Structure 1
Amino acid sequence: MSGTDSRRTTRDETHEERADRRWTELMQEIRVAQTGVQIMLGFLLTVVFTPTFQNLGQTDKTIYLITVVLGSLATGALIAPVAFHRIVSGRNLKPQGVAWASRLTFAGLVLLLATLTSSLFLILRVATHDHYVPWLVAGVVAWYLCCWFVLPFWARSRYAGRDEV
């Protein structure tokens, strides 16, 4: 087909082919994030059964509970695209499925960021009891924000329109 066909994108693929490609790419991305968040949640869930947990102050126990809830929410959001795909599969909704799965994945990444932040804060509080912990955590969060969001959004705006992928 020619490049003038309105059903073709700049990569010379139909909208259906593009949706298939984007779905495959998204599933690969989710596999990486899912594995990390599931391992972290698994470790978090065991902490409550350790003797040290009982010695934590109420503030640290509250931070722990918030961390577990955030990890559970992140896990749910990162697994949701699989359930979404299974439920709408075969109904000619692939482009919409890709859009929703992408939104859920982004929400999962934001929740993963919150889980990592909360986990790091709790661990450093318990390990050091020092006043610099919030500053150290803020530095790590700034790094995550740069790597996960600032750089990709900068690249997206900088190179937008050059190649609609």
Structure 2
Amino acid sequence: MSEQPKPQDSGRDETAEERADRRWGDLLQEVRIAQTGAQIMFGFLLTVAFTERFAGLDGLERTLYVTVVTLGAFAVGTLIAPVSYHRLLAGEHVKPRMVTAVAHLVALGLVLLALTISAALLLLLRVAGLGWGAWAVAGGVLLWFGICWVLFPATVLRRGREDGRPAR
């Protein structure tokens, strides 16, 4: 008989359900920040097509606008998805799995949000006349998001594991 692997000790005295409840609360606090920003930005983006200046956009700028609005819609929809998960799965005794699935959706939502912000910045800077420099600035901002949102946390996680600290 082989032993089943034990889940890594979190250093907390909590059941799997208590852990799921804690993680769910943490996740909701995190998503509220990203969700609000994404919704506000998406709302502003929708109004751009109704301005006089929109008619003066060239083909690339119109394509960028459509891309930005589409990415924004995907970001908002993905970041609102936890509400649907909770409504559909509440009381079904699947919270640990739900929390994991929603955490993946929130991560995807953050990627979509970073792409939306970078593409919106690219469009704005092109319209402002920055030309090819707009691509460099937008690319730099996207890189910065990757550093702040992925690289820095990954470094903290790696160092914690090297120090022998338990996960979550």
Supply the distance in 2 between the matched residues of 1:97 and 1:131 (Cα, whole angstroms).
44
**Residue 162, structure 1, aligned to residue 168, structure 2:** no
CA–CA separation in structure 1 for the residues paired with 2:64 and 2:124: 10
In structure 1, runs of 5+ residues without a counterpart are 1-5
Name the structure 2 match of 1:58. Answer: 59
- The alpha-carbon deviation at position 132 of structure 1 amounts to 1.6
3-state DSSP of counterpart to 1:91? coil
TM-score, length of structure 1 as denominator length:
0.92
SS in 2 for 1:132: helix
Structure 2 residue runs of 5 or longer lacking an equivalent are 1-6
Aligned length: 159
Partner of 2:91: 90
**SS in structure 2 at match of 1:43:** helix
Q: 2 CA distance for matches of 1:118 and 1:12?
A: 45
Alignment of 1:10-159 (within 5 A): 10-159=11-160
The corresponding residue for 1:3 is none
Q: Which whole-Å CA distance do the structure 2 matches of 1:28 and 1:15 have between them?
A: 20
Whole-angstrom distance in 1 between the partners of 2:53 and 2:75: 26
TM-score by length of 2: 0.90
Q: Segments of 4+ in structure 1 off by > 4 A?
A: none
Cα RMSD for the two superposed structures: 1.3
2:28 partner SS: helix
